[in-house]
Structure 1
Amino acid sequence: MDTITHTLFGLSLYGSTNKDKMDRRTKMAYLFTAVGASQIPDIDVISQTWDTEGLYQMWHRGITHSIFLTPLWALLIYVLCLVFFKVKDRRLFFLGWLAAVIHVTSDLFNAWGTGYLEPFSQMRITFGTIPIIDFVFWLIIGGAFFLSKKKPVANRPFYFRAAWLVIALHVGLQSLQGYYFYQKYSQEYGQVALSAGFVPTTFQVITKQEGHVTIFEDGLFQPKQTLYALESKEDADLEYLFSNNPAAKTLQQWSPFVVIVEDDKQIGIYDPRFYRNGQSFLFESIEH
């Protein structure tokens, strides 16, 4: 998910806690924990500053997004609360753990995916059933804030907890639809990937059969249509590409499948899930 959504998740966790008997310093520790742990897995973005081997595509949302690292993130946040706020409350550890788990798990559902099982598996897990920026989340959390604003402090957590139930229902329904479309297209095509649209119930379904890549738009309430038909040069010399552009090899490892481009000017690969208006922003190539 995007940074705003992760921040809103943290604020919603903070809103879900009972704070009517907390002093100001404890409230600050809870707010810091909820928002900080909701953001900290994305600390991996700094790795691009020292990436000289084209590995950033696998580093980003890699080990920092592992489910096995989440208790360590929670412990780090807990220690910071001890140092800066002088608050010793073991519930902060569990709040931070929950926030980190929500971060890394929610990222599974968009097309970018995560290294959820690292270091035991390098597989990039992605479901593609929720867009990276999902405005439905924003509306649900905004609604909880609006409804709780004029309520007594003791009653406000109810609205945020209800928002979490609605969020879970939204993710579940989207994922069931995504599973339906994945199974439907898998019967006809050898490789299939999903990328959820910004409008709920709509999906881009990216298929590959030998060297033919087709991107469809489909949904429960709209007819199926073909957006793009692409050709992949499967006989191109990728080892030549990889030796001259290591980031291309990383992209191939990261993507479910790629489109290979080769002409008189260049050879390259791109991820068709991010193909828009004649190009994909995840494209690595070299000139001939």
Structure 2
Amino acid sequence: MDSITHTLFGLALYGTVNKTDMSRRQKAALLFTTVVGSQIPDMDVISQFWDTTGRYQMWHRGISHSLLMVPVWAAFIALFVRLVFKEKGWRWFNMSLLAVFIHDTSDTFNAWGTGYFEPLSSARLTLGTIPIVDVVFWMIMLGGYWTARIIKKRYHRSPHQIYRIVWALMIVHAAAQTGQGMALLHETKDQYDQSVLAADFIPGVFTVVGKKDGIVTLQKGSIWTGLAPIAELESKEDSDLEVLFEQNPKARTLVEWSPFVVIVDDGTKLGVFDPRFYRKGASFLYEYIDIN
């Protein structure tokens, strides 16, 4: 998910707690815990500043987003709360644990995926059933925020139950999206040797990207409308990519990172791109070299 959505997740998680008997300092510590916990795995973006080998694509959302690191990040946040806010107890660790887990798990639902099982596996876990920016999540949280304000202002009651309903609705939305996407993927599984999903910004709409015998096909639609082909791409599977990898190390990383790639070898360029991000005749995840 994008940084704004992760921040909103943190605020929504903060809202689920009944803070009636909490001091101002405890509320501040809780807000810090949920928001920072919802953002801290993305600290790996700083690795791009010392990346000299083209590995950033693997480092970002890599081990920092693994299940192994969830308790490590949580312990770090809990320690900070103890030192700065002078608050002790397991509450801060548990809330941090939940916030980080939500971040890492929610990122597995979009096409970018995460290194969810690193270091046991370097493969990216990606379902492709939720877009990077999901307006439905935003609408649910915005609706919950305004409802919580009304409850607090008119009835002078803690609105934490409203935010718990917000989370229930978001889980239902994610489950519905994933169920629809998996149904489309299952429907086309016999057509391809490899296939993946990429969710559209419109809820319920997906692109199924399949590869067979060097041909990559993109089909877009929903379980209600069916799928319609939108592009067919030829991948030059017999091309020697070693010279590409030597001159552009990011290309090797992209091949490792992507479920599968399209190989371009047209006499002027040698490159690879991820077809899940193919729009208007090009993919923004494209690494190549010019051939003299």
Q: Which of 163, 167, 174 does residue 164 from structure 1 map onto?
A: 167
Shift of 1:221: 2.7
| Distance in 1 of aligned mates of 2:148 and 2:134 | 22
Q: Which of 227, 251, 264 does residue 224 from structure 1 map onto?
A: 227
Q: What percentage of residue pairs aligned between the two structures are identical?
A: 50
CA contact (8 A) 2:269 2:290 kept: yes
Deviations 1:198-239 (CA, angstroms, capped at 9, x unpaired): 111110111111111111102023242211111111111111
Counterpart in the other structure of 2:274: 271
CA contact (8 A) 1:217 1:225 kept: yes
| Distance in 1 of aligned mates of 2:149 and 2:252 | 51
Structure 2: state its 5+ residue gaps.
none
Shift of 1:253: 0.6
Counterpart in the other structure of 1:134: 134
Q: Which of 197, 201, 204 does residue 201 from structure 1 map onto?
A: 204
Deviations 1:170-219 (CA, angstroms, capped at 9, x unpaired): 11111111111111111111110100111111101111111111111020
Shift of 1:154: 4.2
Counterpart in the other structure of 2:253: 250
Deviations 1:230-257 (CA, angstroms, capped at 9, x unpaired): 1111111111211221111110010000
Shift of 1:87: 1.6
Matched, 1:42 2:45: no
Q: What does 1:5-44 align with in structure 2 at a 5 Å threshold? A: 5-44=5-44
Number of residues of Structure 1 aligned to a counterpart in Structure 2: 288
| Distance in 2 of aligned mates of 1:189 and 1:117 | 26
Counterpart in the other structure of 1:284: 287
Moved over 6 A (4+): none
Secondary structure of 1:123's partner? coil
Counterpart in the other structure of 1:93: 93
Query: Mean Cα displacement is larger for which, 132-141 or 150-159?
Result: 150-159
Q: Which of 176, 182, 185 does residue 185 from structure 2 map onto?
A: 182
Matched, 1:69 2:69: yes
Query: Mean Cα displacement is larger for which, 175-184 or 251-260?
Result: 175-184
Counterpart in the other structure of 2:150: 150
Q: Which amino acid aligns with 1:24?
A: R
State TM-score, norm by structure 2: 0.96
| Distance in 2 of aligned mates of 1:253 and 1:54 | 12
State TM-score, norm by structure 1: 0.98
Q: Which amino acid aligns with 1:111?
A: A
| Distance in 1 of aligned mates of 2:243 and 2:64 | 31
Query: Mean Cα displacement is larger for which, 241-250 or 3-12?
Result: 241-250
| Distance in 2 of aligned mates of 1:4 and 1:56 | 22
Secondary structure of 1:229's partner? strand
| Distance in 2 of aligned mates of 1:51 and 1:191 | 31
What CA RMSD, in Å, does the superposition of the two structures yield over aligned residues? 1.0
| Distance in 1 of aligned mates of 2:23 and 2:100 | 25
Shift of 1:70: 0.4
| Distance in 1 of aligned mates of 2:116 and 2:126 | 9
Query: Mean Cα displacement is larger for which, 148-157 or 178-187?
Result: 148-157
| Distance in 1 of aligned mates of 2:119 and 2:131 | 26
CA contact (8 A) 1:107 1:113 kept: yes
| Distance in 2 of aligned mates of 1:175 and 1:260 | 29
